[in-house]
Amino acid sequence: MKTMLGIDLGTSGVKVIAVKQNGDVVAKATAEYPLIQLRSGWSEQNPQDWWDGVLSAIGQIVSNRDVSPESIAAISLSGQMHGSVFLDSEGKVIRNALLWNDTRTYQECEFITRTIGEEHLLELVGNPALEGFTAPKVLWLRENEHENYSRLRTLLLPKDYLLYKLTGRLCTEMSDAAGTLLLDVSQRTWSEEIIRSLDLDPNIFPELLESTDIVGTLKTDLASSLGLDAGVQVVAGGADNACAAVGNGVVEEGIVLVSIGSSGTVLTQTDKMRYDPKGRIHSFCHSVPSKWYLMGVMLSAGLSMSWLKNEILMTDNDTINAEASKVPPGSEGVIFSPYLFGERTPHRDSKARGTFFGLSSFHTRGHLIRSVFEGVAFGLKESLDLLSKMGVCPNEIRLTGGGAKSSLWCQILSDVLNSPVVLMESDEGPAYGAALIAAVGVGIFPDLPNAARSTVKTKGCITPDPLNAKLYAEIYPVYQGLYASLKDQYAEAFRIFNK
- Residues assigned a catalytic role: 240
Dist CA 375 CA 381 (whole Å)? 10
If residue 159 lies in a helix (H) or strand (E), which one and from where to where? helix 158-167
Dist CA 413 CA 410 (whole Å)? 5
| Cα–Cα distances in angstroms (integers) from residue 222 to residues 16, 31, 186, 307, 482, in the given order | 17, 19, 37, 42, 56
What residues have CB less than 8 Å from 497, skipping those under 6 apart? none
For the chain, what percentages of helix, strand and coil (3-state, to nearest 5) are there?
40, 25, 35
Cα-trace Rg, the chain: 22
Q: Measure the CA angle with vertex 442, ends 259 and 170; round to 5°.
A: 80
| DSSP-assigned beta bridge partners for residue 293 | 269, 284
Phi–psi pair at 406, nearest 5 degrees: -95, 110
Dist CA 2 CA 142 (whole Å)? 46
For residue 263, what is the DSSP state? S
Dist CA 180 CA 185 (whole Å)? 10
Query: What b/e readout covers 284-309, taking b as 16+ CB neighbours within 10 angstroms?
Result: bbbbbbebbbbbbbbbbbbbbbebbb
| Cα–Cα distances in angstroms (integers) from residue 72 to residues 21, 219, 439, in the given order | 10, 15, 11
Q: Measure the CA angle with vertex 478, ends 301 and 475; round to 5°.
A: 80
Dist CA 113 CA 78 (whole Å)? 29
| Cα–Cα distances in angstroms (integers) from residue 371 to residues 198, 322, 350, in the given order | 45, 14, 22
Dist CA 145 CA 152 (whole Å)? 11
Helix, strand or coil for residue 21? coil
Dist CA 184 CA 292 (whole Å)? 12
